[in-house]
Amino acid sequence: MAKKKTKFMCQDCGYESAKWMGKCPGCGQWNTMTEEIVDTKRGRKQTFVTASQTVAKPQSITSIQTIQEPRIDTENREFNRVLGGGIVPGSLVLIGGDPGIGKSTLLLQVSAQLAKKLKVLYISGEESVKQTKLRADRLGVSADELYVHAETDLDYISKAIDEQNPSFVIIDSIQTVYHPEVTSAPGSVSQVRECTSEFMRIAKTKGIAIFIVGHVTKEGSIAGPRLLEHMVDAVLYFEGERHHTYRILRAVKNRFGSTNEMGIFEMKEKGLEEVLNPSEIFLEERSEGAAGSVVVASMEGTRPVLVEIQALISPTSFGNPRRMATGLDHNRVSLLMAVLEKRMGMLLQNQDAYLKVAGGVKLDEPAIDLAVAISIASSFRDRASKPTDVVFGEIGLTGEIRRVSRAEQRVHEAQKLGFKRVILPDKNLGGWTVPSGIEVIGVSTVREALEQTLGGS
């Protein structure tokens, strides 16, 4: 009897090795190599082109005619915004998030909305049909064209898709689906790769929009090989604290739209409800007159969002001061503190710094630099800025305030929420009309910004 051949494969990056290793040479992770059986029967098929077959030839890009295919409206404006305006037929979308964050709830609600006009097939590999029905009853969703199927075998799933011929398919989740010809366990690198390849073939050949739910690792990234994110058309992350009611749907890859869009939902008893004005939500619990609190106008894709940045500066009791940031880049905070220390003469090297973006939002654009610097200076001097001020601007290493994009939209959002004054880069002044009822002040250096907000040194 022939001896079975085995190989060891990293479950994070897909690196293959003939022997077991504690540390993966590909990604550097420990204890991720698992043994898998090599199927020698599955060889690579050779294809020969006959005279009767037509071979596609290279074409000039100017001669290719395109047809703008309409997107599928989900009746959920936040979901449509993240996808770039709706669902593209024939697209393959991967959505990941922490366990219990609401991925299945969101997709079941979207499925019920789409089932009013299209046929939808919901494949559940983690719940039975009755359990899915109980969840649908709890959410109050129901539609005749919404079909539910509990299956994990890829062959039976493909057969169900052929028989039903839906316009929209949900796979919940990809880690539970297995290819019968692959010998490794469900959820392994080989299984995830083969199953995703098959779903991609179905989506492209039949024009079916397929959503795949993916589990995440303890670091927060989607489990499985990195190749999984390269294969799909869009990657969405569903974020939020389990102890808070607000959830954020963020696109990190999108071939059909912007990757900076963000959709905000609120988890309620009847499921997820979209939040159309997130700025009011993030600022509703703000305490006025507190030192270290500054409101910044940030852009999330095409939408301006006003959020509160909080800073707490206190003398350190250790040799090395602590630098902690929640929702902000830690290295960016250290850089801005160095600018304040060098250009403004603030002695921050013996101070602990704790910074946070209220509401659980993550900000990564350069336009938040000025708000971070002012919040640090406000807490350090124990002097509060005006509660009706909004600031934004990028800070250079020499202390200058640099131009940012979409200043007009940021100012209009501040005016709509009742703020009276906006501190922004002076290079952004001009070329647009300032709305009535709000004062716009341009600054060119950090020193000028601190004088306007905190009243001098």
Query: Does the annotation flag 430 for ligand binding?
Result: no
Listed residue (133, 126, 75) closest to 103, CA to CA: 126
Query: Does the annotation flag 224 for ligand binding?
Result: no
Query: Does the annotation flag 99 for ligand binding?
Result: yes
Residue 148 CB neighbour total at 10 angstroms: 20
Listed residue (394, 26, 31, 16) closest to 184, CA to CA: 16
DSSP 3-state assignment of 148? strand
Query: Does the annotation flag 100 for ligand binding?
Result: yes
Residue with tokens 């009791």: 317
Query: Does the annotation flag 102 for ligand binding?
Result: yes
* Integer Rg of the chain from CA: 26
Query: What is the C-alpha separation between 92 and 212, in angstroms, rounded?
Result: 8
Query: How does strand 246-254 pair with strand 234-239?
Result: antiparallel
The first and second tokens of residue 316, run together, are 């350190």
User: Residue 77: phi, psi to the nearest 5?
Assistant: -65, -35
Query: Does the annotation flag 101 for ligand binding?
Result: yes
Query: Does the annotation flag 103 for ligand binding?
Result: yes
DSSP 3-state assignment of 192? helix
- How far, in Å, are 257, 297, 419, 434, 442 from residue 412 at the CA level? 24, 10, 10, 8, 16
Annotated binding site for ATP: 97-104
Annotated binding site: 97-104
